[in-house]
């Protein structure tokens, strides 16, 4: 998107406009489906947990053509999964043990500002400590990353590796391992979304049991 268009678009969004937008959406939704809110207000049973980036251009529902009620969502900068993040662990625990979701999808996106910042050495602020988790991903894949010289390709590959490592971190939680040990149907996936095409690529690291988990992370109940 060119800078001018971006400015125009940002300019059009006003505080009042958001509230008007809500009213318009309700009217259009009810016109299409008069029972929509009655049905949704009765409860939720989403089959999917989405762990994605906070980036405004990667909204889980729109890019998967799904509706409210379909996806339980957790988003943070650069879709990082760490085992000390109580927010993420609470979302994970609730979605696996209460909602009984069937799929956990970690979705990164090319052109991720958080990933690009982690590739650089410029201090941004508090967020540097959060992005340090992505520097760990660079360190873990140093051999491969050192062979990629082109900055665009380095960024794209790190986006993929970061999503894969985040998915691996989901798999190694006690929450997911206990669900698998009890025979619960649950798959973990890593995806990457292209801002340029709108298309999602499955990074083919899906797991639905602990067989592929590194022995170092395997826990006994």
Q: Check whether 55 is labelled as a binding-site residue.
A: yes
55 is catalytic: yes
Task: Kindly report the length of the chain.
Answer: 221
DSSP string, 57-104: T--HHHHTT--TTSEEEEEEGGG---TT-HHHHHHHHHHHHTS--SEE
83 is catalytic: no
Residues that bind Zn ion (CB under 5 A): 53, 55, 112
In the complex with Zn ion, the residue whose CB is nearer, 112 or 176, is 112
150 is catalytic: no
Give the list of residues 6+ apart from residue 46 with CB closer than 8 angstroms, or none. Answer: 69, 70, 71, 72, 95, 99, 101
As measured in angstroms, the least distance from the Cβ of 55 to Zn ion is: 4
As measured in angstroms, the least distance from the Cβ of 65 to Zn ion is: 21
Q: Check whether 202 is labelled as a binding-site residue.
A: no
As measured in angstroms, the least distance from the Cβ of 114 to Zn ion is: 5
> Which one from 55, 154, 157, 189 is the annotated catalytic residue?
55
In the complex with Zn ion, the residue whose CB is nearer, 55 or 165, is 55
Q: In whole angstroms, what is the distance from residue 92 CA to residue 191 CA?
A: 18
Q: Check whether 112 is labelled as a binding-site residue.
A: yes
Q: Check whether 24 is labelled as a binding-site residue.
A: no
**Structure tokens that stand for 12 in this block:** 């059009």
Number of neighbouring beta carbons within 10 Å of residue 119? 16
The residues assigned a catalytic role are 53, 55, 57, 109, 112
């Amino acid at each position: 998107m060119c800078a001018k268009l971006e400015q125009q678009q940002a300019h059009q969004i006003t505080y009042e406009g958001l509230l008007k937008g809500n009213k318009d959406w309700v009217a259009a939704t009810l016109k299409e489906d008069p029972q929509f809110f009655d049905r949704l207000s009765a409860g939720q049973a989403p089959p999917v947990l989405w762990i994605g980036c906070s980036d405004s251009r990667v909204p889980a529902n729109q890019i998967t053509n799904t509706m409210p009620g379909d996806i339980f969502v957790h988003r943070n900068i650069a879709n990082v999964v760490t085992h000390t993040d109580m927010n993420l662990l609470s979302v994970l625990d609730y979605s696996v043990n209460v909602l009984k979701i069937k799929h956990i999808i970690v979705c990164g996106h090319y052109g991720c500002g958080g990933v690009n910042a982690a590739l650089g050495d410029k201090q941004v602020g508090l967020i540097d400590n959060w992005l340090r988790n992505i520097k760990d991903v660079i360190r873990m894949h140093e051999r491969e990353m050192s062979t990629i010289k082109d900055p665009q390709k380095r960024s794209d590959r790190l986006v993929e590796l970061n999503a894969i490592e985040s998915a691996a971190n989901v798999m190694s939680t006690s929450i997911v391992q206990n669900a698998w040990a009890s025979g619960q149907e649950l798959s973990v996936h890593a995806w990457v979304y292209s801002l340029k095409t709108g298309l999602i690529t499955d990074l083919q690291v899906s797991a639905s049991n602990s067989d592929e988990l590194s022995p170092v992370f395997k826990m006994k109940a």
